[in-house]
Amino acid sequence: MVRNQNLLVIIAVLWLAVIIFAVKMQMHQSSTHKNLSRHISFQNTNPCLTAVYGPCINNQSNLLDLWLPPYADSAPSSTSYPLIVFIHGGAWEAGDKSYMTCQGQLNNSGYAVASINYRLTHEAPHPAQIEDCKRAISWLRSHGHLLKIDPNRIGVWGVSAGGHLAALLGTTCDTEHFSWESPEKISSSVQAVCDWCGPSDLKTIAQQAGSSYILSRPVKIFLGGNPEEKPELADEASPVTHAHKGCPPFLIMHGADDTIVPVEQSQELAKALKSARSNCTLEIIPGANHNFASPKTINRVIQFFDLVLKKHG
């Protein structure tokens, strides 16, 4: 009799535990749904998903926005789109993912588009910025099956400081810099790089700019010291240092009259990539300054990504 009573008590306790667990799961799912719904906004006709890709959420550092092509909802579940990841500029100390203003053109051309935040230099110096960029690529790749992203067709496009980070992503694809890689050990490699007017050699930029050099303070904050004081770190943070034969195809665009990042920086990177026998196209835009965005130049970017990312699509 006592045994039967004990057994009934055990069964009752187990059932109570199951009920409590089920209620907690339902509450968690409801909370998750509410949290997710707060991160969904709409821009034009395309739904924008804002997601957390890493642990650094102060100042929204590890957030990204993702847009799919407008017809993605009606596409078969097996459909996957090539992805273009945009990295904003701002001298590593300013700016955010809202700097992406042409996602509609890219979406209409058949691309998924992500625009990422990363830690700025008031939060942490190099290598925090490239670590975040690599983590964002890894996160997007690992969730590709859910987000309709083709993990084998990821391109990156950066402007100014974002161009530097895009070039650094491209020149360090799965190389020896494992300390920069995502702890999840998911590849952060990209298959195409578009670099708009990004610094490429932090040891030569001051000399090339001459008396008009205005990036001295941002570079010093980025490195935690002047390049002359930290030559090894300046080399590590410079894409030209890492140019090698296995780099993905590059399109480098730069204004001929750039007064912020000297055009010689892009010429230097193109020379390093070509010397390493990597595929690189350099286009210098006559009469253009640091900001040369236009329908023509954006179409050129799309043309480049079409050539590289859609040839096997």
Strand order, beta sheet including 112-116: 40-43, 46-52, 63-67, 112-116, 81-87, 149-159, 192-196, 250-255, 280-285
| DSSP helix/strand/coil, 54 | coil
**Closest listed residue to residue 47, CA positions, set 109, 117, 107:** 107
CATH architecture of 42-309: 3-Layer(aba) Sandwich (3.40)
Distance of alpha carbon 262 from alpha carbon 114, whole angstroms: 28
How do strand 192-196 and strand 63-67 relate by DSSP bridges?
Answer: unpaired
What pTM was computed for the model? 0.85
Residue 299, number of CB atoms within 10 A of its CB: 12
Residue 112, beta-bridge partner list: 83
Residue 89, number of CB atoms within 10 A of its CB: 23
Q: Note down pLDDT in tens along the chain; length 313 residues.
A: 555 555 444 444 334 343 333 333 333 333 333 333 333 333 445 579 999 999 999 889 999 999 999 988 888 888 999 999 999 999 999 999 999 989 999 999 999 999 999 999 999 999 999 999 999 999 999 999 999 999 999 999 999 999 999 999 999 986 666 678 777 789 999 999 999 999 999 999 999 999 999 999 999 999 999 999 999 999 999 999 999 999 999 999 999 999 999 999 999 999 999 999 999 999 999 999 999 999 999 999 999 999 999 975 5
How do strand 149-159 and strand 81-87 relate by DSSP bridges?
Answer: parallel
Domain positions in the chain are: 1-38, 42-309
Q: Which string of DSSP letters, residue by residue, matches 285-304?
A: ETT--S----HHHHHHHHHH
Distance of alpha carbon 27 from alpha carbon 24, whole angstroms: 5
CA angle (304 as vertex; 265, 161 as ends), nearest 5: 35
Instruction: Determine contact, residues 169/161, Cβ cutoff 8 Å.
Output: no
